[in-house]
Amino acid sequence: MTLQRKMLLPALGAFAVLMAILRFGIEPIALGSQTEYVLAQESQHLGILAPIIAEELLSGDIAKLHSILETAESGRQSGWVAFSVIDADNFMLYPFDKPVSPDGIDYIRLEQPILWSGEQLGLLILEFDITSQKNHILNEFAQFEYLIFITALLLISLSALWNRRVVIKPIVKLALAVKALRKGNYDAVLPDTSKDEVGELKNAFAEMRSELQAAQKRTAEDNEKLTSANNAIESKNLELQQALIEAEAAVKAKSQFLAMMSHEIRTPMNGVLGLTDILLRTQLTKEQHDYLTTVQQSGENLLNILNDILDFSKIEAGQLNLSPSEFSLCELIQHVGQTFTPTAEKKGLKVFIDAPCNLQHKVIADFGRIEQTLSNLMSNAIKFTLKGHVELSARVIPLEDNIYHTHFHIRDTGIGIRAEVQSKLFNKFVQADVSTTRQFGGTGLGLAICKQLVELMGGKIGLSSELGKGTDIWFELPLKCSDVLIEHEQIASEIEAIPPTTATTQLSSDIRILLAEDVHVNQLVVEGMLKQIGLTADWAKNGSEAVDKVKSGYYDLILMDIQMPIMDGYEASQEIRKFQAEHHLPNTPIIALTAHAMKGDMERCIDAGMNDYLTKPIVAETLTNCLKTWLNSPSAEFSETLIQPQLVEDNVVPLSGASNHSTELISELTVKRLDKELGGDLAPIYEQYFSSLQQYLSELEQAISANDGLKVQSICHKIKGSSRNLGLNQLGNLSREMEDMCQSNGTAQYTAYFNQLQSSFIESQNAIQTYIQ
């Protein structure tokens, strides 16, 4: 509904109400008044006539009565219907005939008693019709209503025209101006108005339009300035990005330099410490011994600092990667606690260990990094504790998805830390007090490294301390639960607990052992292990040589590699069993040596006549136990309990998904084990290995060129076995993948794998040289 119609509605409503009042209010009142007026006139007329005719009735002069009544009737008012007189006996005196009232006429009857001295002589009756009077009044009202209607309509029309001129048109123009303003047109003409509300509305709109135009102009200017500023900021951002790239490159270069220098410095330091240790084992004077002990302690402190710098540089360069393995959390806590107990006891401190030894399952995490974190925190706790005790504890809360929420605590009763520096203590190069550096030493990197290691493993670290009362440093880690029960699996962390081989584990030196192994490095490893228990072995380079040696001499036990040139281990074992059966000789125990550990391989070994099975890499203790079993009881049944499980580090991801950093190329755990089992003489074995590997790579390249899949498979198997024996996981995995590819008749990726093997060969050689040095 338009505004004009809305403005007309009140006037039209008032007009309708007025007409209703006239029709239904005033008009009935006027009709009633007219009726009462007529009744009053007729009653008055009858009242005058009644005394006149009373004398005639009394005298009985009926003729004169008729004359008077006829005269009165002749001068009657219009509308009389009937006029009559009756006596007291109700006898009609006038007229002689009874008057008949016409039907359908709404008439009024008036009766006037004829009295004489209070006695009623008769009754004067008048019946009359007032319809004409009513119609006259209605006609007058109709004319009046018509006049009012015409007048009201004229006034309403004039009012509408006026409103349209002074209200509607200005508002319509304002609306058009608003639409134009919405489209960005600020020049729309505004209506001319007087000083009223519409005028105020127009003035307010004009003011708003002016302010909006000014604001838009300011906005345009601001946008122009903002665009200019954004361009400047973008230019600065490009400069900052370039500066950031350069800074990151500088940081990376610095970290790489620190890592290289740490290795370069650590190499002569290892020599210094090694020679110092050798000198300490010679006959020295007390003064010389004290001097050398001081040199050794200083060198170890320096080496620890260099190790911290190396780890820190790796973390900064983003080259520190985690190596998850399965281990017992209880054994880890006990191992760390026992390691630091002698140091604490020298200071008169007690060490308390609270390990979760009731945990049935092992956990999967980076054993080395957790041990490093615990060792760093334990070292700090002992360093800053002058009296009292140090406590190492761990609590485990099982969560969903086989995750253990593990909470480690290292508490001490040491000097404590001031509250204002506690929040900064995990920042690099920060210590609680400069004086502590002079008194206790250190670089301030230890806790920073711990924090970054814990966060790298998905945990968090914190502390609570009170000056003079001690410190409680804690860290939390989510550790994945292994499916293997602790009491049913041997893991790499147990290697450190293997006792040195003594004369009690040695077998008779008269025992003759034949070792059939085509890879010279593997031969050196096994012979080194045998040497530690006082045994030697004859070496056969392939299965054919092994058969010839058995035919020409007697052996108490044969260690048989499976995949060898000319004749493999299966065929050689069958030939040996056939020879011994034909000549009625006792069966010599044959122990299989291979990198395969599938159930089908075990069954093939049994079918070929072998007695037992050892998987590579070979552990000295497992080899010794196996020898004891079969040399003391040659008739023993084939026993899977002696089969050595694959170590965790054999399950390595392919090279394409791995980092090229040296810590992923080798298994330090395996190298440490070999170092212990072979008496520390690793250099010749690795030298021979890399020399043989170079020859294998040359043969492998020729086999790939000739598309000789069987030759490629054979060479890869040799590389796989010897690499795993020596802890070179990346080379072992690459050769295994390439061997599997040959078995599945896939030759498309020979060149790609060969290139990766060559790269891994160089990196592994550098990593081993650095590690051994």
DSSP state at residue 712: H
Q: Would you place residue 747 in the very low, low, confident or very high pLDDT band (cuts 50, 70, 90)?
A: low
The mean pLDDT of 677-690, rounded to a whole number, is 76
Nearest alpha carbon to residue 716 among 290, 733, 368? 733
Q: Which amino acid is at 31?
A: L
Which of residues 458, 491, 524 is at a domain's end?
A: 491
Q: What is the pLDDT of residue 600?
A: 58
What is the C-alpha to C-alpha distance for residues 454 and 464, in angstroms, rounded to an integer? 17
Q: What is the pLDDT of residue 477?
A: 92
pLDDT in tens, 230-264: 888 988 888 888 888 888 777 677 766 765 665 56
Q: What is the pLDDT of residue 322?
A: 80
Burial 160-190 (b: 16+ CB within 10 A, else e): beebeeebbbbbebbeebeeebeeeeeeeee
Q: What is the pLDDT of residue 664?
A: 53
Verify that 350 and 391 share a domain, yes or no: yes
pLDDT in tens, 701-719: 888 888 888 888 888 878 8
Verify that 329 and 439 share a domain, yes or no: yes
The mean pLDDT of 70-94, rounded to a whole number, is 73
Residue 575 domain flag: yes
Residues 6+ apart with CB under 8 A from 279: 292
What is the C-alpha to C-alpha distance for residues 337 and 314, in angstroms, rounded to an integer? 27
Question: Both tokens of residue 556?
Answer: 């108490």
H-run or E-run covering 460 = strand 460-466
Verify that 327 and 475 share a domain, yes or no: yes
Range of the domain at 589: 498-646
Verify that 339 and 480 share a domain, yes or no: yes
The mean pLDDT of 335-345, rounded to a whole number, is 85
Residue 375 domain flag: yes
pLDDT in tens, 554-602: 888 999 998 888 999 999 999 999 998 898 888 899 999 875 545 456 7
Verify that 330 and 467 share a domain, yes or no: yes
Give residue for tokens 């210094």.
272
What is the C-alpha to C-alpha distance for residues 610 and 363, in angstroms, rounded to an integer? 36
H-run or E-run covering 485 = strand 470-485
Give residue for tokens 């074995």.
685
Q: What is the CATH number of the domain that holds 592?
A: 3.40.50.2300
Bridge partners, residue 465, by sequence: 471
DSSP state at residue 745: T
Confidence (pTM) = 0.35
Verify that 430 and 543 share a domain, yes or no: no
CA distances, 372 to each of 29, 338, 446, 699 (Å): 116, 14, 10, 42
H-run or E-run covering 719 = helix 709-725
Residue 191 domain flag: no
Bridging pattern class, strands 107-116 and 92-94: unpaired
Verify that 564 and 668 share a domain, yes or no: no
Verify that 18 and 94 share a domain, yes or no: yes
Nearest alpha carbon to residue 524 among 645, 633, 686, 409? 686
Q: What is the CATH number of the domain that holds 8?
A: 3.30.450
Residue 358 domain flag: yes
The mean pLDDT of 63-69, rounded to a whole number, is 80
Question: Both tokens of residue 680?
Answer: 């520390």
Q: Would you place residue 485 in the very low, low, confident or very high pLDDT band (cuts 50, 70, 90)?
A: low
Residue 529 domain flag: yes
pLDDT in tens, 419-434: 887 777 777 555 544 4
Bridging pattern class, strands 350-354 and 389-398: parallel
Residues 6+ apart with CB under 8 A from 500: 676
Q: Which amino acid is at 328?
A: S
Residue 628 neighbours by CB distance under 10 Å: 14
Q: What is the pLDDT of residue 644?
A: 38
Residue 149 domain flag: no
Question: Both tokens of residue 81?
Answer: 């219907």
Verify that 710 and 758 share a domain, yes or no: yes
Which of residues 617, 646, 675 is at a domain's end?
A: 646
Q: What is the CATH number of the domain that holds 768?
A: 1.20.120.160
Nearest alpha carbon to residue 394 among 497, 482, 474? 474
User: Would you say 358 and 396 are in contact if contact means Cβ atoms under 8 Å apart?
Assistant: no
The number of domains in the chain is 4
Which of residues 646, 662, 690 is at a domain's end?
A: 646
Q: What is the mean pLDDT of the chain?
A: 76
What is the C-alpha to C-alpha distance for residues 19 and 12, in angstroms, rounded to an integer? 11
Verify that 624 and 724 share a domain, yes or no: no
Residue 17 domain flag: yes
SS (H, E, C) 592-632: EEECCCCHHHHHHHHHCCCCEEEECCCCHHHHHHHHHHHHH
Verify that 342 and 485 share a domain, yes or no: yes
Residue 294 domain flag: no
Q: What is the CATH number of the domain that holds 389?
A: 3.30.565.10
Bridge partners, residue 612, by sequence: 591
Considering only 25-39, 535-549, 641-655, which range has the smallest mean pLDDT?
Answer: 641-655
Verify that 503 and 632 share a domain, yes or no: yes
Considering only 206-210, 370-374, 394-398, 688-692, which range has the smallest mean pLDDT?
Answer: 206-210
Q: What are the strands, taking DSSP E only, across 336-438?
A: 350-354, 361-365, 389-398, 403-412
Among positive and negative, which fits the CA dihedral 556, 559, 564, 569?
Answer: positive
Question: Both tokens of residue 101?
Answer: 């009232």
